Structure 1
Amino acid sequence: MKAMSTNTVSALPTALAGLLKQYAAPSQKGDGTTAQTAANPAASPLSLGRDEAYSLSLGSTQSGSAMLGYTRLATLGAQVDGDLQAVATQAASPGSAGSVEVEVSRLAGVQTLVTSLFGDPDSVSLGTGTLTVQMGEMDGETGAFTALGEPAGIVIAGGSLNDIAQSINDSRIGLTAKVVESGGGFELEISGQDTGAAKAFALSGLAELDFDPSRPDTSPLTLTGEAADALYSIDGTEFVWPSNAGVPVAFGTTAAFSETGALSVPRSTLSETIRKMMASFNGLQQAIVEMTGDKGELAANANLAAGMFKRIGDAAMAEYPTGGDLSTLAGIGIGVEKDGALSIDQSILAEALGKDPASVQSLVAQAAKGMDDAIRPYLGSRGAISSQVTVLGSLLGRGSSLLDYLGGGSKATGGLAGGATSLLSALG
């Protein structure tokens, strides 16, 4: 996953982005030097963003909106807290989650062309000049060919089968060629290097090697293999994949296709546990983004929400000892997007589960606990959000503030500084 600058958080609301940058700033020490807060997001007994004095500057309208927002955030946080505790427990003792039943209708294929048979591969000449290759994509339903990218030219100096094969292979443009002995003669075989409908190709420039994938019957070459995606179905829903390897059939579960027909693919509960962890995390982060937006309940009082956003994000990006090669969620394909949500490369997850499931298990259990520990200071009757709601409630009870009378409350630009920069290093 590519790291991102701490100064580019344009995907986030202004109030939230500004506070995240402030929380990442180094704090001032007594001797005039600076020091970063410990990287452990649960290290401080106080909640990042807790600033009750700041809340006292809000007007009554802003206080009412913020009170609704933090009440909502407390409810959501409690739900996420329970979800993450369950994930940590489940990840610590994974088992079989049964299997995925797959029906394979078509294997992914490589486009392959062959010439007619010739008696001597070195004496026959199919012409010289420039062989133009146009890569493209085949439509499996209509048979139409769509060109992709610019055509490439291969200089054919010698016209024999062996000369042409060598020229194609030396060009390194995504095709392979070889002379094959077959039926008492020799033929030139030209193939794509990769499977998939988007790996088709057309040939032109030499009459004996012209080939249009949309009109194969008009070519002197014979099509013996088509560029095609694998076609398969799960529970009646059809899917395509450009390869027969690493085919996704469920979250974190891939399969390898070798033949058509029914296929039963085992899966682990761990992949489903990871999906639940990501869903809980993303639900919380997306809610905070919404509530701290211009029209959100916390637009004028985003301090605690921003602190919660950062701490759980830092926990998701922290390192955890597993006893194996894996130490971060990035190692199993999980990264942070520009809006703070988690995304996953399921092929990396599937590879990690196949290679070192014990380390994945340990990593997920620790990461889920780390995330839960990061938000827990904000929750419960003694948590920072509850205290914030109490302060806001008192503001509503006393009526308009002096700042209302003087011209309005403050904007959401204040808050406590400190905290690790690991989340911001991934936001862009």
Structure 2
Amino acid sequence: MTTTTSTTSSSNISATLAAAAQSIISGATNSSLDVSTLVGSLVTAKTTAQATQIANKTSSDNTLLSAVSQIKSALSSLQSSLSGLSDGTALAAYTATASGSGLTATAGTSAVAGSYEIKVNNVASAQKISSTAHAATDTFGTGTLTLSLGSTSMNVALDGTNTLASIASSINSANDNPGISATIVTGTDGQHLVLASKTTGASNSISVTAGAGVDSSLSYSAGSSNYTETSQAKDASLTVDGTAVTSSTNTLTTAIGGVTLNLASAAAGSTQTLTVASDTTKEKSTIKSFVDAYNSFVSQAAALSTFDSTKAAGSQGGVLLGDSMLQTIRSTLANIVTSGVASTSGSTSVTTNLASIGIDLQDDGTLSIDDSKLSTALSNNPTRVQQLFSQTNGIGKQLSSKITTFLQTGGIIDTRTTALNADLKSLTDQTAKLQTYADSLTSQYNSQFTALNTLMATMQNNTAYLTQLFGGTNSAGALATNK
């Protein structure tokens, strides 16, 4: 290859020098020498071979870098799909379904499959009180109005001009408001100040104390005639399989281990059955996502490393055909997928593989799913599925761990990427040096051929002068005429 490049370069230089000779001859026959074109041709002939070599290597490195990046991306996607399968959370998914209305529930990974009888006596509610009627222009004295919600209080200062509307505004805008909203409801009898707790529960009841100088009609405590209680502050009350449970809110996180109960008013007075079961739909979806991501990696790797005889010569092999890095990654992951997972049952060692739950290896290295068989395994033999994807040595755990070693700093992908980037930097440096060399040659040749062109012009002038003096073809010359 080097010999061919050298021969080609020599041929180019020889051709350019021949052009230079022809230009010199032209100069001798009263033509000017095209120095710029001649210099450009010589410099190109001297640098083209190396420039082409650098360009080709740069293109090759960039193509390889792109291919490695595609493999890295496919591996990252595969690892993401394994998150729930490598830590066990995907196969610990549960659904919680109530038999009636007003009760919903969500089950976490610590839930236990089973059914529970839930009787809801009442749901949690927030207190709301409405004052007696007042005219819109009524004022309520000067002093402090103290409002409390449970054990937390706030103060509203009255200056003698405050109406119900301005009092309500002051309550709502107070920075230390403990969670009381105030509105004005206008009826046929006048205006009512309506105070409502923003928090449910029996402990979050409202009280209002009118200080010295403030109209006592604004005061309220339990049983007070100044206000009408339109909604009582109550805790949610229910029984779970006969066990009494109370809660200040309608979201209960501790009544059933791993399950969150949510109550709505429609549940009050009802008795329902809550069923907690494995969420096979979610589990299947997670497993399918893993298979899709694995197949995507296999397809991507094949596209980059397959030999295609139908393509033009020179482009038949994938950019990573025969690449040791890719071969290592493919064989490592394929071995994990096909080997299965060993477990112990009593004194017997048992190996469970993907095929046992309906996931089969195809001739092209991809995986296919028998949907019916997978559904049956998830419903009837969840233990087998959990063995395959255990948190200790399951397929998901093994694959994720290996991918981490491939992707980590210093791993085979990082090492390859670093080497390619270093080579590209070296090629950039070589390009800069070649350009410096070309600039130097251009300057050198420009000086030489400009001097030559000047010399040739001088010689031409001298020849014309001597011909005038001594004569030439068909001319006797000035000296011959004046002898």
TM-score range, shorter chain: 0.3 to 0.5
Structure scoring higher RCO (CA < 8 A, sep ≥ 6) equals 1
TM-score by length of 1: 0.37
Which one has the largest radius of gyration? 2
Higher helix share: 2
